[in-house]
Amino acid sequence: MATHKTNKELARAYFDAVIAGGLPDELLTEDMTAWTTLGGDTDGKRYQAMAAMLRRMCPEHLEFDIRALTEEEDRVVAEVVSNATLLTGEPYSNTYVFVFHMRDGRIAHVAEHFNALIVMEKLTPLMKQLTAR
């Protein structure tokens, strides 16, 4: 990375990148890992693919309203509400808590907590439809 970002700036850059369509390697450590409410543990490449899939499911409108960012040592906790319009035209909104662990100016791990019922109702069917193509 050309300039050093604070941990909070890295967390904000994460949301900006997801909105833009994915997570660039420059934001992540080479051994980045993730955990999600429904998917459990995963590696960085798969998590990057999941972020890109979210943007495919919400091509017209996707935003994250960061309600709070709390930083301590190498961790940032983000309380976030998403608002989007799905590919089907339906609205999508969910409440999240992201826990980021940073290392050497990059994201080393993210735990993504969300309302699983909303994801299963709104995103899972659309994800299956897009991956079947």
Instruction: Quick: pLDDT tens for 53-78.
Output: 999 999 999 999 999 999 999 999 99
For the chain, domains (ranges, CATH) are 7-132 (3.10.450.50)
- The model's pTM is 0.92
Whole-number pLDDT of residue 76: 98
Q: Which regions of 1-133 does DSSP assign to beta strands (E)?
A: 28-36, 40-43, 61-72, 75-85, 91-103, 106-114
Kind of pairing between the strands at 91-103 and 75-85: antiparallel
pLDDT > 70? residue 11: yes
User: What's the confidence (pLDDT) of residue 1?
Assistant: 40
Cα separation, 110 vs 88, whole angstroms: 29
* Better pLDDT: 48 or 130: 48
Give residue-wise pLDDT tens across range 89-115.
999 999 999 999 999 999 999 999 999
- By CB neighbour count within 10 A (0-12 exposed, 13-18 middle, 19+ buried), where does 29 fall? middle
CB 58 within 8 A of CB 34: no
- Share the mean pLDDT of the chain: 94
Per-residue confidence at 4, pLDDT binned at 50, 70, 90? low
Long-range (24+ apart) CB contacts under 8 A made by 103-106 are 103/29, 103/74, 104/29, 105/1, 105/4, 105/5, 105/10, 106/1, 106/10, 106/26, 106/27, 106/28, 106/29, 106/32
pLDDT higher than 60, residue 2: no
